């Protein structure tokens, strides 16, 4: 049957042909039938793959072939630098900046202190207790970790104070409201703890 000229009928006709072909190929046992039908068949000797074929440029040198002589395989240092700059940071396809961990790392670099703001433990004491950790943990007060401002981040020890703050964040509106000051116990021994960072 020839294809209809009307666009709507032609679309329906194409869909029926497509469905008929799908039904034929998805019929039970069709894979085995086709497999048996193709057994023992080979491509023509001209087109089939022959083991031991040489690549087109095997044995050619810059002296014997003008295609290789005109090819410029050397990249200048200046061009390497340009290519490098085009793929640095956010321009790189593998850029992971802007992720949760990246923001926490940036917060540590920008606002990290040498003591826990909750219990007052120094970084040296913390490293003695947890030798694998070389820095304190950063806690985001609002839960909006993409805001890299000092009021939004708190330096805490990982396993005690940070877990307590996470618990309080879950209790108080999923971290969207500041934690009340009376819910946090500050250590009085360290006068450098800025009380204004909370509540």
Residue ranges of domains in the chain? 115-197
User: Higher pLDDT residue, 170 or 88?
Assistant: 88
Question: Which three-class secondary structure string do you get for 74-138?
Answer: CCCHHHHHHHHHHCCHHHCCCCCCCCHHHHHHHHHHHHCCCECCCCCCEHHHHHHHCCCCCCCEE
User: Residue 184: what pLDDT?
Assistant: 56
Residue 130 has pLDDT above 60, yes or no: yes
Read off the DSSP letter of residue 113. -
User: Higher pLDDT residue, 101 or 15?
Assistant: 15
Question: Tokens standing for 34?
Answer: 């086709």
154 pLDDT band, cuts 50/70/90, is confident
Residue 115 near residue 123, CB atoms below 8 Å: yes
Distances (CA, A) of 1 to 24, 25, 182, 186: 19, 21, 83, 86
195 pLDDT band, cuts 50/70/90, is very low
Average pLDDT over residues 66-81: 80
Distance CA 62, CA 105 (A): 51
Question: Tokens standing for 172?
Answer: 């108080």
**SS percent in the chain: helix, strand, coil, step 5:** 45, 5, 50
Name the most confidently modeled range: 55-59, 92-96, 170-174: 55-59
190 pLDDT band, cuts 50/70/90, is very low
User: Residue 193: what pLDDT?
Assistant: 39
183 pLDDT band, cuts 50/70/90, is low
Distance CA 96, CA 104 (A): 13
Q: What is the pTM of this model?
A: 0.42
Distance CA 136, CA 51 (A): 61
Strands in the chain per DSSP E: 137-140, 153-156
Q: Which of 149, 181, 183 is nearest to 167 (CA)?
A: 183
Give me the phi and psi of 11, to 5 degrees please: -65, -45
Percent of the chain beyond pLDDT 70? 81
């Amino acid at each position: 049957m020839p294809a209809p000229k009307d666009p709507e009928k032609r679309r329906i006709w194409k869909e029926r042909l497509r469905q008929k072909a799908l039904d034929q190929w998805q019929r039970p046992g069709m894979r085995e039938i086709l497999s048996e039908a193709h057994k023992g068949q080979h491509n023509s000797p001209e087109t089939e793959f022959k083991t031991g074929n040489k690549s087109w440029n095997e044995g050619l040198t810059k002296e014997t072939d003008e295609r290789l002589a005109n090819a410029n395989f050397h990249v200048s240092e200046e061009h390497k630098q340009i290519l490098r700059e085009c793929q640095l940071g956010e321009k790189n396809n593998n850029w992971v900046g802007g992720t949760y961990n990246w923001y926490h790392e940036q917060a540590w670099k920008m606002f990290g202190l040498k003591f826990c703001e909750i219990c007052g433990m120094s970084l040296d004491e913390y490293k003695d207790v947890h030798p694998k950790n070389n820095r304190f943990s950063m806690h985001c007060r609002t839960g909006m970790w993409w805001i890299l401002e000092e009021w939004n981040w708190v330096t805490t020890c990982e396993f005690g104070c940070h877990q307590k703050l996470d618990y309080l964040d879950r209790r108080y509106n999923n971290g969207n409201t500041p934690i009340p000051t009376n819910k946090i116990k500050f250590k009085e021994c360290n006068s450098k703890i800025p009380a204004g960072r909370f509540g």
